[in-house]
Amino acid sequence: MKRHYYFLLMMLAMGVVSCDFSAKQKTDKTTTEADNQEMVVDSSDIAIPEQAPTDLSECDMAMLDKGKLFFYNSEKQALMPYEAETDSVVNSVFVGDKLYYCVPENGKIVLKSIQLDVPDAQPVKEADWGLDFEKCVTETYGTVSPLCYYAGRNMLGLWHEFSWDSYSLSQQKLFNLDTKEITDWNWEEWEQEELAQQNHEDEEQTEENYTFNPVKDELKDYLVQKEDGNYWFVDGIEHVCLTDKIDFNAYLSDPSYASEREFNYLSSSPDNLKVLYMAILEWGDYPHGPLCVSSIDGTYQVALEDTDCSDYKAQWLADGSLVYVGYERIGPDEGISKWDNCVPVVKRVYPDGTWESFFRGNDFQVRMP
């Protein structure tokens, strides 16, 4: 139970670095990206656009390029390097009008912030986590802990202490944004609180409010996996299959590792009418399978090509677009691994199903209004 709990928390937190800005490649898209051939833009052809945003408050994304911080305006499709931070940035998260992020400092890891709604915003050191930087790096992929924000508690979280039992960082430091205090995470206490909250919500569910209301209800409460192996949207009126149009067998890398299909909710779109979820199809040391998006009426079903639920990053933009990390091939397929000679690329799927690749890298954060 403890290993499973750690793993799910880490996966949801990552939901999380070599980045370059590329020209827009926009293509029609419906249920899969399998037929698309993307052009990989060589880094020598990439340049920062002349009309870069000058006001950080206009930017709704932050990205990293080899530790360098950039801000991005998705509406204007304009990128801005943040020159005031000279340290190497390893993670970040938006909280209101601030961007919080971590940097290594003398072998330790420290927390900094940028106030986005002031002119000429400068980085501010918030706290020393009291941890060696290497303690916050996994021993599997060499991934630095994400910086997590827990809105209900107004706390930031930083994972540390890799465990081979759970194949993840197993402990967490918490920074209280109100008191500025750092404490250790008590997973058993949080688990009990979450179970109590869920039980309370279940008791309030009645036949009268069982019909899904996208304005006030949480979509995840209306999603179930049925015995037919599919993911369904179910309320008092509708029973809609969300996965019957996706050929999941096409996403098996090795049939000998195939397992019983499992779907895990990740997030819902801003209008609460689409769901992002992982489809776990096989197990090695980690679960494997694509990230998927479906509309609750079942008409829109997309398996995101070149994604894997063992190491993913995906977030919604305010306009209903989904930004995620996929992979593009830069060399020949040598048949050893499907990720050989590939680079991570940030992609954007628009509500109408069209998509584009716009940033070479695997680390970004979205700022919601």
Residue 250: phi, psi to the nearest 5?
-70, -15
Structure tokens at 355: 């998509």
CA dihedral of residues 322, 13, 302, 343 (deg, nearest 10): 80
Tokens 């304009």 belong to which residue?
78
- The angle formed by the CA atoms of residues 258, 263 and 267, to the nearest 5 degrees, is 140
Question: What distance in Å separates the CA atoms of residue 124 and residue 114, rounded to the nearest whole number?
Answer: 6
Question: What distance in Å separates the CA atoms of residue 247 and residue 298, rounded to the nearest whole number?
Answer: 15
pTM over 0.85: no
Q: Give 84-135 pLDDT, tens digit per residue.
A: 999 999 999 999 999 999 999 999 999 999 999 998 899 999 999 999 999 9
Q: What is the pLDDT of residue 369?
A: 73
When mean pLDDT is compared across 25-39, 96-110, 220-234, 256-270, the lowest value belongs to 25-39
SS3 345: strand
> Which of 92-96, 284-288, 330-334, 347-351 has the highest mean predicted lDDT (pLDDT)?
92-96
Tokens 């995620």 belong to which residue?
324
Average pLDDT over every residue of 223-249: 93
Structure tokens at 365: 């954060």
Q: What is the pLDDT of residue 309?
A: 86
Q: What is the pLDDT of residue 14?
A: 46
- CATH number listed for the domain at residues 2-197+210-366: 2.120.10
Would you place residue 201 in the very low, low, confident or very high pLDDT band (cuts 50, 70, 90)? low
Question: What distance in Å separates the CA atoms of residue 92 and residue 112, rounded to the nearest whole number?
Answer: 9
Type of residue numbered 233:
F
Which long-range contacts does 187-195 make (Cβ < 8 Å, 24+ apart)? Answer: 187/2, 187/5, 187/6, 187/9, 191/5
Would you place residue 196 in the very low, low, confident or very high pLDDT band (cuts 50, 70, 90)? low
Tokens 């009645």 belong to which residue?
206
With a cut of 70, say whether residue 45 has pLDDT above it: no
Largest CA distance in the chain: 60
Q: What is the pLDDT of residue 5?
A: 43
Structure tokens at 77: 């499709």
Task: Dihedral sign for Cα 264, 165, 160, 150, please.
Answer: positive
With a cut of 60, say whether residue 312 has pLDDT above it: yes
Average pLDDT over every residue of 13-40: 34
With a cut of 60, say whether residue 6 has pLDDT above it: no
Structure tokens at 349: 């799927």
Mean pLDDT of the chain: 81
Domain range summary for the chain, segments of one domain joined by +: 2-197+210-366
> Per-residue b/e over 47-58, b at no fewer than 16 CB within 10 Å?
eeeeebbeebee
Q: What is the pLDDT of residue 211?
A: 85
Structure tokens at 336: 């050893």
Q: How far is CA 321 from CA 72, 128, 249, 274, in A?
A: 15, 36, 27, 11
With a cut of 60, say whether residue 249 has pLDDT above it: yes
